Amino acid sequence: MTDYHTFEQAGEHYLFFTRSARLYQISRLAFGMLAEFFPPTCDPDAFPPDPPRPLPAEERSLYGELRDLVSRELRAPVPLPQPRHAILQGNSYQTFSIYLAQTCNMACCYCWNRGGTFGKPGHLMGWDTAQRATRLILSLVERSSADKVFINFYGGEPLLDFPVLQQVTQELLQHEARLEKNFYLTLDTNGTLLDGPAAQFLARYFTQVGVSLDGSQRIHDLQRPGKYGEETWQLIANNIKAFPNQKLLGIRATLTTFSDSYLETFRHLTTLGIKRIQLEYCHEPGYHQNPIYEKLIVPPERQLAELREFVDYYVDYISEYNDTWDIPFVSNVLDNITRIRRGSRFTKPCGAGANTLAINSHGKVFPCIAFVEREDFAMGQVDDTQRLNLHQSLEGFEVDGQHQCQACWLRYDCAGGCYATHYDMTGHPRRPHPEYCRSMQGRAKVYFYALTRMLNKCPWHLEKVHAPV
């Protein structure tokens, strides 16, 4: 196993320990000595007390410090796997996604699920199926150990089925007190229908509403036209500005090869006055099955260069503010930075099918939204409350048991990666593609760099980072 990793980022040198998730910023000299004297796969007991070759007094002292540090860190315990009985009992369901509408009123060039249709005829859930889906959720939540329950309405465009959305919401909330749970309702929308009664209803009952808007008007209207080619940016921007409670809103932009840079996209979105922004490059499941989508994916080298450019700008930008709540923040970047700072370690990537479920508009149950309409991974129907079956490839996963992950220095952060993405890229949920691994490692290095920059320039923002609900 590889239990530590050294790397350079923007002229600085870093040392990361896999087992403890500790990050050190080190000198160039220490960087070179680690490479020469301390192999990452070596047993700590094999490090000689004295350098293998003569060194100046100052370097001998540094050798001793590095030997003690590396030896101590390599003896740190590995994270404990989740008890298997907790997974088999299925008593930790916490996150549910409901595909209300497997159809859409837009024709986005990169849509990974083809407007929710997955290439099939469009379909709305309807109240009969929605009612049975609600009963399933309530039944599982009643036996769940989770106090907080997150329910996301997804599509396609879920507001095309707004009457059913209202009914499901009221049905869920009337059981909240009885179950002694806190329900957090969220919705992902393209924003074209985010007005009138729908906007009023969401502002009253929902915790978060995510709106897709791809930066500048020029780029957005190129990438996200209406179903018949009409421009949509201005309509969505107007709906955002008129929304009754803008604190609930977040904006998500997807970046393709046609997009402005990460930084320029961020700048465009900040003009709308929304504080929570999410910027993601095309990477969703399905892209490796369609050569057209392949042309939309930003090359990894450009992604990392743009991300570093953004980090340098953003840290300088927010260091001028004393109050974190005054600044627009890129949630996915700060989430990664704060996770690294906490030293979080994981042995499995997610709870697909164990604490998360997705329900399509026909009432079929899947492990998560990325597996919807993949029939091999269907777990049952909404009426099958006692017979939901998790695909065997998603059961019992532990990252240390995966041969391809054992030599990876990032294995307790990535924890094996996304099952659905692996399935699309290699044909197996447990087999990551080397390209995927390189991307994850490259991004992690940028986030490590961002963390050290924030600690040096504006550590107060890490103390007051926007916490999730």
| pLDDT on residue 469 | 35
| pLDDT on residue 229 | 96
Measure CA 365 to chain center. 22
| Tokens 């009664």 sit on residue | 197
- What is the spatial distance between Cα 302 and Cα 208, in angstroms, rounded to a whole number? 31
What pairs with residue 152 in β-bridges? 97, 186
pTM beyond 0.85: the answer is yes
| pLDDT on residue 468 | 39
| pLDDT on residue 385 | 64
* Helix extents (H) in 319-396: 331-342
Residues 6 or more apart whose Cβ sits within 8 Å of residue 317: 327
Average pLDDT of the segment spanning 199-216: 98
Mean pLDDT of the chain: 91
Q: Is the pLDDT of residue 93 over 60?
A: yes
Q: Give the model's confidence band at 403: pLDDT under 50 very low, under 70 low, under 90 confident, else very high.
A: confident
Which H or E element spans position 8? strand 4-9
| pLDDT on residue 424 | 85
Q: Give the model's confidence band at 90: pLDDT under 50 very low, under 70 low, under 90 confident, else very high.
A: very low
- Burial string for 434-453 (b: 16+ CB within 10 Å, else e) reads eebbebbbbbbbbbbbbbbb
pLDDT digits (tens, 9 = 90+) for 230-249: 999 999 999 999 999 999 99
Q: Is the pLDDT of residue 410 over 70?
A: yes
332 against 468, higher pLDDT: 332
DSSP type of residue 123: E
Six token digits for residue 389: 């079956």
pLDDT digits (tens, 9 = 90+) for 335-392: 899 889 999 899 999 889 988 999 999 999 999 999 999 999 999 999 876 678 899 9
| pLDDT on residue 47 | 86
> What DSSP letter does each residue of 293-321 carry, written as one string?
HHTTSPPHHHHHHHHHHHHHHHHHHHTT-
pLDDT digits (tens, 9 = 90+) for 316-332: 999 999 887 788 889 88
pLDDT digits (tens, 9 = 90+) for 258-274: 999 999 999 999 999 99
What pairs with residue 278 in β-bridges? 252
* Cβ contact 272:215 at 8 Å: no
CA nearest neighbour of 105 among 154, 155, 157: 157
Q: Is the pLDDT of residue 136 over 90?
A: yes
% pLDDT > 90, the chain: 75
Q: Is the pLDDT of residue 16 over 60?
A: yes
| pLDDT on residue 132 | 96
Q: Is the pLDDT of residue 284 over 60?
A: no
* Cβ contact 286:420 at 8 Å: no
Q: Is the pLDDT of residue 281 over 80?
A: yes
384 against 416, higher pLDDT: 416
| pLDDT on residue 467 | 43
pLDDT digits (tens, 9 = 90+) for 213-229: 999 999 999 999 999 99
pLDDT digits (tens, 9 = 90+) for 156-203: 999 999 999 999 999 999 999 999 999 999 999 999 999 999 999 999
- What is the spatial distance between Cα 136 and Cα 244, in angstroms, rounded to a whole number? 32
| Tokens 């924003």 sit on residue | 191
* Cβ contact 359:97 at 8 Å: yes
| pLDDT on residue 295 | 85
| pLDDT on residue 386 | 66
Q: Give the model's confidence band at 287: pLDDT under 50 very low, under 70 low, under 90 confident, else very high.
A: very low
| pLDDT on residue 360 | 97
Task: Give the relative orientation of helices 331-342 and 434-457 as an angle to the nearest 10 degrees.
Answer: 80
Give the Cβ contact number of residue 328 at 10 Å: 19
E strand intervals along 290-443: 329-330, 356-359, 364-366, 380-381
| pLDDT on residue 259 | 97
pLDDT digits (tens, 9 = 90+) for 109-126: 998 888 999 889 999 999
* Cβ contact 421:370 at 8 Å: yes
pLDDT digits (tens, 9 = 90+) for 40-77: 877 778 888 899 999 999 999 999 999 999 999 999 99
Give the Cβ contact number of residue 305 at 10 Å: 14
Q: Is the pLDDT of residue 139 over 50?
A: yes
- What is the spatial distance between Cα 208 and Cα 167, in angstroms, rounded to a whole number? 18
Least confident of 28-42, 95-109, 177-191: 28-42
What 3-state class would DSSP assign to 24?
strand
- Burial string for 394-432 (b: 16+ CB within 10 Å, else e) reads beebebeebebbeebbbbbbbbbbbbbbbbbbbeebbbb
Most confident of 150-164, 292-306, 309-323: 150-164
Average pLDDT of the segment spanning 73-85: 78
Least confident of 242-251, 338-347, 426-435, 458-467: 458-467
| pLDDT on residue 87 | 41
